Amino acid sequence: MSSKLFDLSGRRALITGSSQGIGFALAEGLIEAGASVVLNGRDEGKLAEASARLGGAATLAFDVTDHDGVRAAVDSAEAEGMAFDILINNAGMQHRTELQDFPADAFERLLQTNIASVFHVGQAVARHMISRKAGKIINIASVQSALARPGIAPYTATKGAVANLTKGMATDWAKYGLQCNAIAPGYFDTPLNAALVADPEFSAWLEKRTPAGRWGKVDELQGAAVFLSSAASSFVNGHTLYVDGGITASL
């Protein structure tokens, strides 16, 4: 099989929430495969630091929950010649509280950050991809797209929605030459999971519950992202790829 199938040379990827954690790791992986990457976040200072760590990667600061702001930023970038061949909707947040006590404002923030943002950025970028008859959209789902744990019911709801919105994107946009898929990470050692990583009881439970017997490392998501960004996945559409050490396959 030719390695050209996975070659991203000449492709440009926009990755939301990419100043740290999974988004930053995915940026590293795509750059290694030959792509140029545009980092996104709200904090320009963090973006500048992340850009420097990646050898001066381009940045595009905007709030993924602001529909008009997203559209303006994407349209402006495209007008200046920064066409996006790949979009990775990675921005997300977590809030842990038992459902009966879950704050309504936290629930709304989860909806806006984890699912509305996928619509806002996905639509803004897809409009340009459609005109070019080509594009790759990758949404970051979760094992919580299929499973639930105590204390994170609203997060679970948002990630289930991400998986289904991915199917809807594929259904509407495949005819225009777009492939829209999702990656569903299991439990990875990231800033979002810092409290769990620091909890010996939880880590012990996770190691027993996961067939691979450990936390995931963020660079282990890079291969899936490169595959779904490349010509190798030209007939893969509406799929959610679980990268979870086997946790969703085992009781």
Q: Is 148 helix (H, G, I), strand (E, B) or coil?
A: coil
Residue 162 near residue 115 (C-beta atoms within 8 A): yes
Please provide the CATH number assigned to the domain covering 3-245. Answer: 3.40.50.720
Domain spans of the chain, in order of start: 3-245
pLDDT, tens digit, 9 for 90 and up, residues 34-71: 999 999 999 999 999 999 999 999 999 999 999 999 99
pLDDT digits (tens, 9 = 90+) for 62-98: 999 999 999 999 999 999 999 999 999 999 999 999 9
Q: Is 155 in the active site?
A: yes
The one catalytic residue in 155, 176, 187, 242 is: 155
Confidence (pLDDT) at 55:
96
Q: What is residue 2's predicted lDDT score, i.e. its pLDDT?
A: 61
Which pLDDT tens digit goes with each residue over 166-216? Answer: 999 999 999 999 999 999 999 999 888 888 999 999 999 999 999 999 999
